[in-house]
């Protein structure tokens, strides 16, 4: 348990993705079975201990501690499991610390009613970090910034196998994954993925910076502004995956239920109504659902979702990825004809005479759901990742507005010493500034240094990590769209705002008004 606790703490305090992968890989290599398998399941979110719910932990705490002192401590620490772990007396039993598998076995073999007592006995055998790891393990939610895909990547790195191979067998296996480790260590053949639906890496596009392409070689499609999604189905089971390869089936169960094909397709998850110019807040609703394991019927009804298909990777068991786009497109249209049209359609090809004509069509498109245009080589196979010269994304021209910097916050990573995140506002009709967005990109390193100095020299108030600045600097902000928002005091929200220019020449009074932003609504 101590090694697992050290891993969890290491992951909490490490910010670099590569270092996190290395920490997990090291742990998986040196830890014996079945402890490492349970740990892998805990990190990948596939471990479920039915006997322990967070209420059990609260019950255990209230039995041991004065409720008022516990509540004050909980309020301060902000996390029930950590509060209990810290308040609990150190290794009061004097017994040896339990192993991870001992913990799992004990908790799995008890009843829900007995679970708090079993948990308390285990707590007595651990130090503070061990207790924290125990409670996190028992309740699920590790909250250490690890996705399932990252855990699998770490497994691949630990044993020198490709993450795609791990992905392929993953869903056929169950914790503690003994067969997976046996294969990783070269002791057995690769497990048979059997009848399981798994993730294949997406094909991605490069931005089309300047210049043009020949439409004889390239086909144009709309780039839809939803959530890129992959649907994989064996007929027996259907799974949905996000762009990063994390399973999101639970967040969009209606899509999985409606999908009656067998194969693997690539598309964009959108909200019905959007496409005909409905409310644009729906993108936020999709984002919120993405993070959930389950969604309510009310959420499904409020924002009816469907998938606009771009491509087909497998038709039945037939791998189409090596075929040219034109051939796959034909197969996709045939495949989609058998799907429920309420939930699935095919993204239309844009008919344009030539590139100039396409540019005109693109410039005229101001629909909220359109992010730009995709250009795909007609003979391109479906390849993992970004490959030069095959697919391009050509986003539409941004809108711009002159805004006034209001607050600044320090950035993270290599920008951690600089005030690099800026909240900016526009004027109301009665002459007040209200925030309309926040941006942390678009400027050069030299401009960042200048902005950082501006913030430090013009601070009027501090709120923790945030500084309020003198309302004197005009920033030209570029954004993809602006729409109505009930969540912002100004009533408007920008999509993908970034700083396009510093307008040091412009007086703050001459910055744009919120009314001007409203005039840019789609």
Q: Which residues bind to another protein, rule: CB under 8 A?
A: 9, 12-15, 65-66, 68-69, 72-73, 76-79, 82-83, 86-87, 90, 128, 132, 410, 412, 416-417, 463-464
Please identify, using beta-carbon distances, which residue of 32 and 145 lies nearer to another protein.
Answer: 145
Q: How far is the CB of 451 from another protein (least distance, A)?
A: 14
Cα separation of the two ends of the chain: 56
List the structure tokens of 354. Answer: 């030539």
Give the burial string for 55-78 (b: 16+ CB within 10 Å, else e): ebbbebbeeebeeeebeebbeeee
Please identify, using beta-carbon distances, which residue of 276 and 444 lies nearer to another protein.
Answer: 444
Please identify, using beta-carbon distances, which residue of 80 and 380 lies nearer to another protein.
Answer: 80
**Secondary structure letter of residue 427 according to DSSP:** E
Please identify, using beta-carbon distances, which residue of 13 and 296 lies nearer to another protein.
Answer: 13
Helix (H) or strand (E) holding 460: strand 459-463
Please identify, using beta-carbon distances, which residue of 94 and 464 lies nearer to another protein.
Answer: 464
Distance CA 447, CA 66 (A): 55
Distance CA 195, CA 457 (A): 63
Q: At what angle are helices 115-123 and 100-108 packed, to 10 degrees? A: 160
Helix H segments across 45-127? 54-64, 67-77, 80-87, 100-108, 115-123
Q: How far is the CB of 375 from another protein (least distance, A)?
A: 40
Please identify, using beta-carbon distances, which residue of 83 and 234 lies nearer to another protein.
Answer: 83
Q: How far is the CB of 453 from another protein (least distance, A)?
A: 11
- The count of residues in the chain is 522
Please identify, using beta-carbon distances, which residue of 132 and 199 lies nearer to another protein.
Answer: 132
Q: How far is the CB of 457 from another protein (least distance, A)?
A: 15
Q: How far is the CB of 12 from another protein (least distance, A)?
A: 6
Q: How far is the CB of 29 from another protein (least distance, A)?
A: 17
Q: How far is the CB of 17 from another protein (least distance, A)?
A: 14
Pairing of strands 305-315, 318-319: antiparallel
**Secondary structure letter of residue 15 according to DSSP:** -
Q: Please choose, from the candidates 101, 522, 33, 494, the residue with its C-alpha nearest in 3D space to the C-alpha of residue 278.
A: 522
């Amino acid at each position: 348990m101590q090694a697992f606790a050290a891993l969890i703490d290491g992951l909490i305090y490490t910010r670099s993705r590569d270092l996190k992968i290395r920490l997990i890989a090291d742990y998986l290599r040196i830890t014996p079975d079945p402890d490492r398998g349970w740990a892998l399941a805990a990190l990948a979110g596939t471990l479920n201990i039915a006997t322990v719910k967070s209420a059990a932990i609260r019950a255990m705490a209230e039995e041991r501690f004065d409720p008022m002192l516990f509540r004050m401590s909980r309020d301060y620490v902000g996390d029930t499991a950590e509060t209990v772990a810290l308040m609990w007396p150190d290794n009061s039993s004097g017994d040896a610390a339990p192993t991870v598998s001992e913990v799992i076995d004990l908790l799995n073999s008890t009843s829900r009613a007995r679970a708090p007592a079993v948990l308390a006995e285990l707590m007595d055998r651990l130090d503070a970090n061990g207790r924290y790891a125990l409670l996190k393990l028992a309740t699920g939610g590790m909250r250490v910034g690890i996705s399932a895909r990252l855990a699998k990547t770490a497994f691949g790195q630990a044993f020198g196998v490709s993450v795609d191979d791990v992905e392929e067998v993953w869903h056929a296996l169950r914790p503690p994954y003994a067969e997976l480790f046996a294969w990783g260590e070269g002791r057995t053949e690769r497990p048979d993925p059997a009848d399981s639906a798994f993730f294949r890496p997406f094909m991605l596009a490069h931005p089309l910076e300047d210049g043009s392409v020949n439409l004889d070689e390239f086909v144009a499609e709309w780039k839809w502004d939803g959530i890129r999604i992959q649907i994989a189905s064996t007929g027996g089971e259907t799974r949905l995956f996000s762009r990063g390869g994390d399973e999101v089936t639970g967040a969009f169960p209606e899509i999985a239920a409606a999908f009656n094909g067998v194969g693997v397709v690539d598309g964009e998850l959108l909200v019905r109504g959007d496409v005909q110019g409905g409310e644009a807040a729906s993108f936020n609703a999709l984002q919120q659902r993405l993070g959930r394991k389950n969604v309510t019927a009310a959420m499904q009804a409020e924002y009816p979702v469907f998938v606009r298909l771009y491509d087909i990777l497998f038709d039945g068991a037939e791998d189409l990825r090596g075929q040219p786009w034109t051939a796959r497109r034909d197969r996709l249209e045939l495949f989609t004809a058998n799907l429920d049209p309420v939930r699935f359609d095919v993204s239309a090809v844009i008919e344009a005479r030539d590139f100039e004509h396409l540019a005109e069509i693109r410039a005229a498109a101001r629909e909220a759901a359109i992010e730009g245009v995709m250009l795909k080589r007609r003979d391109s196979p479906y390849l993992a990742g970004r490959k030069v010269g095959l697919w391009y994304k050509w986003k539409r021209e941004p809108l711009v507005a002159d805004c006034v910097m209001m607050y600044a916050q320090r950035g993270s990573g290599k920008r951690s010493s600089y005030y690099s995140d800026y909240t900016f506002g526009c004027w109301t009709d009665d002459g007040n500034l209200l925030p309309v967005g926040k941006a942390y990109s678009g400027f050069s390193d030299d401009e960042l240094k200048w902005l950082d100095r501006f913030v430090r020299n013009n601070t009027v108030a501090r709120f923790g990590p945030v500084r309020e600045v003198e309302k004197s600097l005009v920033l030209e902000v570029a954004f993809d769209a602006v729409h109505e928002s009930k969540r912002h005091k100004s009533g408007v929200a920008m999509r993908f705002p970034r700083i396009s220019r510093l307008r040091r020449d412009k007086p703050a009074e001459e910055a744009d008004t919120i009314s001007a932003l409203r005039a840019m609504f789609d």
